[in-house]
């Protein structure tokens, strides 16, 4: 069960209610009135807990699980241990998200300005918003309703935040217009100057960075990630994007809707990424490129050319996936053939 | 026009004044007395705004721009739209920096210690310096004149800062002697212990890190970058260096003058980088190496050997550029030839 | 000598005492009663200072050093300059650690709650612990004895910390149970939500992250590193681990005892790393893998398959070291042979 020191708990819920919440159907013989207390990993779940199976690696854990119920695709139902109630669904992970959200609603917080927080008198703070201890909100900032500004976070002058945003502890935001339902994780840096200067042996001359960061609704920016503001154009993060930890996004970059950026990716200045593209961990994208909608960039790839919509590229320099894996296979053969 | 919520504005300036500021010459027929209000990107600039063209990718945007004036090299003047005044110069980006600085001078700030800041009584704070809300300045720290210590920043005991420095919000500096005109971006970490321990199966034994971080004048350190202090020798960042976001610089590293380090680069302990060398994004340099003056390391390269002055290396393991690209070409052929 | 602005100093110590502290034996003719004032790098050490030689690269610096004494392996004693006292030992780096710790003990601090710190009334703070200026400690947190909570650090609700821990300036810790003698460096992020959501074109749906971060005794977590809490299982960092700066550790990852993780490494979710494995800088490990005890992953490698205990892997995709270097050699030949 989730540690009550850290997580609120709702429930219990009946199996019928969990099926309704998740859009799953019950397996034959499952008792719709049975009560469940929480979700839990398959290898630790007990009789009053609900697990999920989403990755075939864990079929054995499923087959030997003591969970009272499990979200699972119909095709794997045959592997269930005797007596386990099944919540059958096409996308067990998504269904699990719904169930887990029900058991563990986001904790409420008391609106207001906490001890030690410094809010400029010209800033506006929406109804239901809490500014935590020692946070700083600058002049003319406009914070929406029901936002949570974490301890020691800093919101710069003029920043605009929509409703229902969470700004993590020690995060900083400046020069930014941010939508609603946006989560900025602890230590993320939004809106600082981009890496703009004119190089020269007589010294590098700073180029004023005069754009902003525009973030759409329902975006998450991971811990210690950095998003520089635009140099003249804006840096734009489209609605629904998910950005992991320690990601670097350079000035003028534009992400479309729902782009997924895994940890430690770097995107150089002025590159544009299409809707629902996905960038694997530690990938690097050079500047001024176009990555098409739905494109996939494998982890650690180095992308130096435009990528077409829907294409998957791998490697550094990145090549279409099939080509890359043929090169790797050829290289493997060479390595084995070579008998120095 | 730059968003007035975030940027101060000077101007307007006459075309003649802009030419003088940037060292450009006016194209034939341009009206020296015409007034300009701001800089702007070519695709958004209006009749009273000045653009620049520095990258051939954007020639089409130049040719169709509504900008009243543009900084451009003489060789591209022929592509200008009718009626656009041209500010002809060899280095339009550098010229743009001058013009943009004139339109948007660094905002003034009110000297003093803001609400919630904690400054140790033994610290000295120079004339004209501001310590923002909830920043902490430790014992015996010496802060120069006209510095701006951002909200929630932490300056450790004994740290010395020159004049005209900016320490970003939530940045931390310890065990460091820092020159003048240095900008440390939000969340950067300067001066913590390096990764020094004696490995062993009986446990890893900490080795005290007894050096400092020495930073020259006119240096920028990007957001969330980390510079460890020396282990015994100092970690040294030469004057004029530009360090981007999320860069790791290990203990005892020495950067010469004007070194450019792009985002997410890692430099291992005790490596020395020569003047005006440039390291591309996500490159990694192993420890105890010498990278010569003016050397270039391509993005994502993994450098395991010394690099001569002026040399360009690419790849992981890094090889001279020509050699690397021949290997890539050969590999591409192999991938295509292999018809498994 | 270590800069007294930043480092406490004990000593002087006699050569005999230093031999005892470090487990070294004195070379013939060395005066056991000679007094030494500090440690110092070989190229800067004076007659009353002790150096060490651990890396053959620096034999020349040893041979020309003015250090009064040096920790060195017996096999290199012959290269010592005349008059230098030698402290002969098998592991000079480990011996140096002991000597340096003696000269520079960890500075004492005054227990208590500093100005501007906000400690929730339901939190418990152990005897001898100091909470620095503007730090924030949440409800029901339990902080052990003799801990140092740095300025502007944030300890979340319910977090448990053992004894003798140091939480760096501006670090944040939430949803975590932490052992004793743990050092969290400035800006590290422990316990935030992992990158968990169900992807879909209709929007990415957040999956509640219901696990914790469990950190064993004697662990170090570097500056600006990020360790996400578990999704359901916990994220576990075993005792004695050393994690460098800017490292990303995903949800559910488990590190065994004494694992060494160099800067900018990324470990994806649910991967398990065995005791005393070592991961080189910028390496990336995909999710759900097993890396065996004592395995070594070279810098910048991309590990996509399980690694056996004791194995060394290199490259992206990572291969056993021998195989990798044969591929590189073959590729080098190709690059040279190819005469396009």
- Which chain C residues touch A97 with a CB distance below 8 Å? 197-198, 205-208
Say how far apart CA A220 and CA A82 lie, in whole Å. Answer: 40
Average pLDDT over every residue of A275-281: 98
C204 is catalytic: no
Of the candidates A160, A246, A266, the beta carbon closest to that of B281 is on: A266
Q: Is the ipTM beyond the 0.95 threshold?
A: yes
Per-residue pLDDT, C324: 93
Whether residue A218 has pLDDT greater than 80:
yes
Q: Residue length, chain C?
A: 340
pTM: 0.97
- Which chain C residues touch A340 with a CB distance below 8 Å? 326, 329
* Tokens standing for residue C89: 């030992």
Per-residue pLDDT, B337: 63
How many CA atoms lie less than 13 Å away from C17 in the CB half-sphere? 15
Whether residue C337 has pLDDT greater than 80:
no
| CATH class of the domain whose range is A13-103 | alpha beta
- Which chain B residues touch C6 with a CB distance below 8 Å? 157-158, 174-175, 212
Of the candidates B3, B100, B260, the beta carbon closest to that of A212 is on: B3
Per-residue pLDDT, A340: 45
- What is the count of residue pairs from A and B with beta carbons less than 8 Å apart? 190
Give me the active site residues of A, please.
251
Say how far apart CA C10 and CA C16 lie, in whole Å. Answer: 16
* pLDDT confidence tier of residue C340, bands split at 50, 70 and 90: very low
Q: Which residues contact C141 (CB under 8 A, 6 or more apart)?
A: C120, C123, C124, C155, C156, C157, C158, C159, C160, C161
- Which chain A residues touch C116 with a CB distance below 8 Å? 116, 134
Per-residue pLDDT, A337: 63
B5/A contact by beta carbon, under 8 A: yes
User: Helix A92-103 and helix A15-22: axis angle, to 10°?
Assistant: 120
Using the beta-carbon criterion (under 8 Å), do A93 and C134 form an inter-chain contact?
no
Q: What is the dihedral of CA B124, B126, B128, B129, to 10 degrees?
A: -50
Map tokens 């992953």 to a residue.
Answer: C297
Tell me, letter by letter, the H, E, C secondary structure of chain B: CCCCCCCCCCCCEEHHHHHHHHCCEECCCCCCCCEECEECCCCCCCCCEEEECCCHHHHHHHHCCCCCEEEECHHHHHHCCCCCEEEECCCHHHHHHHHHHHHCCCCCCCCEECCCCEECCCCEECCCCEECCCCEECCCCEECCCCEECCCCEECCCCEECCCCEECCCCEECCEEECCCCEECCCCEECCCCCCEECCCCCCEECCCCCCEEECCCCEECCCCEECCCCCCCEEECCCCEECCCCEECCCCEECCCCEECCCCEECCCCEECCCCEECCCCEECCCCEECCCCEECCCCEECCCECCCCEEECCCCEEHHHHHHHHHHHHHHHHHCCC
Q: Which of B195, B235, B286 would you mutate first to test chain C, the one with the most C CBs within 10 A?
A: B195
- Which chain B residues touch A116 with a CB distance below 8 Å? 116, 134
Per-residue pLDDT, C320: 95
Average pLDDT over every residue of A274-280: 98
Q: Which residues contact C253 (CB under 8 A, 6 or more apart)?
A: C235, C236, C267, C268, C269, C270, C271, C272, C273
Average pLDDT over every residue of B137-150: 98
Residue ranges of chain A assigned to CATH 3.40.1390.10: 13-103
* pLDDT confidence tier of residue A76, bands split at 50, 70 and 90: very high
Q: Among A96-100, B1-5, B230-234, B305-309, where is mean pLDDT lowest?
A: B1-5
Per-residue pLDDT, C85: 97
Å between C9 CA and nearest CA of chain A: 34
C5/B contact by beta carbon, under 8 A: yes
Interface of A with C in 239-278 (CB under 8 A): 240, 242, 244-246, 258, 260, 262-264, 276, 278
Whether residue A142 has pLDDT greater than 80:
yes
Interface of C with B in 180-239 (CB under 8 A): 185-187, 218, 220, 222-224
* pLDDT confidence tier of residue C158, bands split at 50, 70 and 90: very high
Say how far apart CA A165 and CA A179 lie, in whole Å. Answer: 8
Average pLDDT over every residue of C155-176: 98
pLDDT in tens, B250-287: 999 999 999 999 999 999 999 999 999 999 999 999 99
What mean pLDDT, rounded, does chain C reach?
Answer: 96
**Partner chains of A (3+ C-beta pairs under 8 Å):** B, C
Per-residue pLDDT, B157: 98
User: Helix B321-337 and helix A321-337: axis angle, to 10°?
Assistant: 100
Å between C198 CA and nearest CA of chain B: 28
C335/B contact by beta carbon, under 8 A: yes
Å between C278 CA and nearest CA of chain B: 10
Give me the active site residues of B, please.
251
Whether residue B99 has pLDDT greater than 50:
yes
Say how far apart CA C253 and CA A263 lie, in whole Å. Answer: 14
Using the beta-carbon criterion (under 8 Å), do A118 and B151 form an inter-chain contact?
yes
Whether residue B339 has pLDDT greater than 60:
no
Closest C-alpha among C58, C8, C74, C80 to residue C38: C8
Using the beta-carbon criterion (under 8 Å), do B332 and A327 form an inter-chain contact?
yes
Of the candidates A118, A200, A248, the beta carbon closest to that of B245 is on: A248
Chain-centroid distance, C-alpha C237: 13
Whether residue C318 has pLDDT greater than 70:
yes
Largest CA distance in chain C: 80
Say how far apart CA C213 and CA C192 lie, in whole Å. Answer: 9
Using the beta-carbon criterion (under 8 Å), do A335 and C316 form an inter-chain contact?
no
- Which chain B residues touch A156 with a CB distance below 8 Å? 169
Closest C-alpha among C181, C241, C175, C179 to residue C213: C175
H or E element, residue C149: strand C148-149
Using the beta-carbon criterion (under 8 Å), do B232 and C98 form an inter-chain contact?
no
| CATH class of the domain whose range is C171-340 | mainly beta
Å between B86 CA and nearest CA of chain C: 44
Whether residue C339 has pLDDT greater than 70:
no
**Which DSSP letter does residue A233 get?**
S
B55/A contact by beta carbon, under 8 A: yes
- Which chain B residues touch C327 with a CB distance below 8 Å? none
Q: A27-63 burial, b if ≥16 CB within 10 A, otherwise e?
A: beebeeebebbbbbbbbebeebbbbbbbeeebeebbe
Per-residue pLDDT, B273: 98
Q: What is the dihedral of CA A132, A134, A140, A144, to 10 degrees?
A: -10
* Tokens standing for residue A321: 């996936």
Query: How far is CA C30 from each of CA C15, C27, C86, C92, rounded to the nearest angstrom?
Result: 8, 6, 7, 17
Closest chain C CA to residue B170: C170
Interface of A with B in 298-327 (CB under 8 A): 302, 316-317, 319, 323-324, 326-327
pLDDT in tens, C95-152: 999 999 999 999 899 999 999 999 999 999 999 999 999 999 999 999 999 999 999 9
Residue ranges of chain B assigned to CATH 2.160.10.10: 171-340
**Which DSSP letter does residue C174 get?**
-
pLDDT in tens, C89-98: 999 999 999 9
Map tokens 């992020």 to a residue.
Answer: C189
Using the beta-carbon criterion (under 8 Å), do C100 and B210 form an inter-chain contact?
yes
Per-residue pLDDT, B340: 45
- Residue pair B17/B33 in contact by the 8 Å Cβ criterion: no
Using the beta-carbon criterion (under 8 Å), do C335 and B324 form an inter-chain contact?
yes
* Torsions phi, psi for C336 (to 5 deg): -80, -35
- Residue pair C313/C295 in contact by the 8 Å Cβ criterion: yes
Say how far apart CA B338 and CA C13 lie, in whole Å. Answer: 69
Q: Which of B202, B208, B227, B244 would you mutate first to test chain C, the one with the most C CBs within 10 A?
A: B208
Average pLDDT over every residue of A304-317: 97
């Amino acid at each position: 069960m989730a540690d009550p020191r850290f997580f609120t708990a709702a429930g219990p819920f009946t199996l019928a209610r969990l099926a309704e919440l998740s859009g799953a159907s019950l397996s034959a013989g499952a008792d719709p009135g049975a009560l469940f207390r929480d979700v839990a990993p398959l290898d630790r779940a007990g009789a009053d807990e609900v697990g999920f199976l989403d990755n075939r690696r864990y079929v054995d854990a499923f087959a030997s699980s003591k969970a009272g119920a499990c979200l699972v695709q119909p095709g794997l139902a045959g592997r269930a241990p005797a007596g386990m109630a099944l919540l059958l669904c096409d996308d067990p992970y998504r269904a699990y998200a719904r169930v887990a959200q029900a058991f563990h609603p986001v904790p409420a917080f008391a609106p207001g300005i906490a001890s030690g927080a410094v809010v400029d008198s010209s800033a506006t703070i929406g109804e239901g918003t809490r500014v935590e201890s020692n946070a700083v909100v600058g002049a003319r900032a406009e914070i929406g309703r029901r936002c949570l500004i974490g301890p020691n976070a800093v919101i710069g002058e003029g920043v605009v935040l929509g409703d229902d945003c969470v700004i993590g502890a020690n995060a900083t935001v400046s020069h930014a217009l941010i939508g609603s339902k946006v989560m900025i994780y602890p230590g993320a840096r939004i809106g600082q100057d981009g890496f703009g200067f004119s190089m020269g042996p007589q010294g590098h001359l700073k180029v004023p960075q005069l754009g902003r960061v525009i973030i759409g609704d329902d975006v998450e920016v991971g811990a210690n990630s950095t998003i520089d503001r635009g140099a003249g154009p804006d840096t734009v993060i489209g609605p629904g994007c998910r950005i992991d930890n320690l990601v670097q996004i350079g000035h003028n970059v534009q992400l479309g809707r729902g782009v997924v950026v895994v940890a430690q990716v770097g995107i150089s200045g002025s590159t544009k990424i299409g809707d629902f593209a996905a960038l694997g961990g530690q990938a690097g994208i050079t500047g001024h490129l176009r990555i098409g909608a739905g494109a996939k960039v494998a982890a650690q790839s180095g992308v130096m050319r435009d990528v077409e919509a829907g294409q998957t590229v791998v490697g550094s320099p990145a090549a279409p996936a099939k080509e890359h894996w043929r090169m790797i296979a050829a290289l493997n053969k060479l390595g084995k053939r070579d008998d120095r």
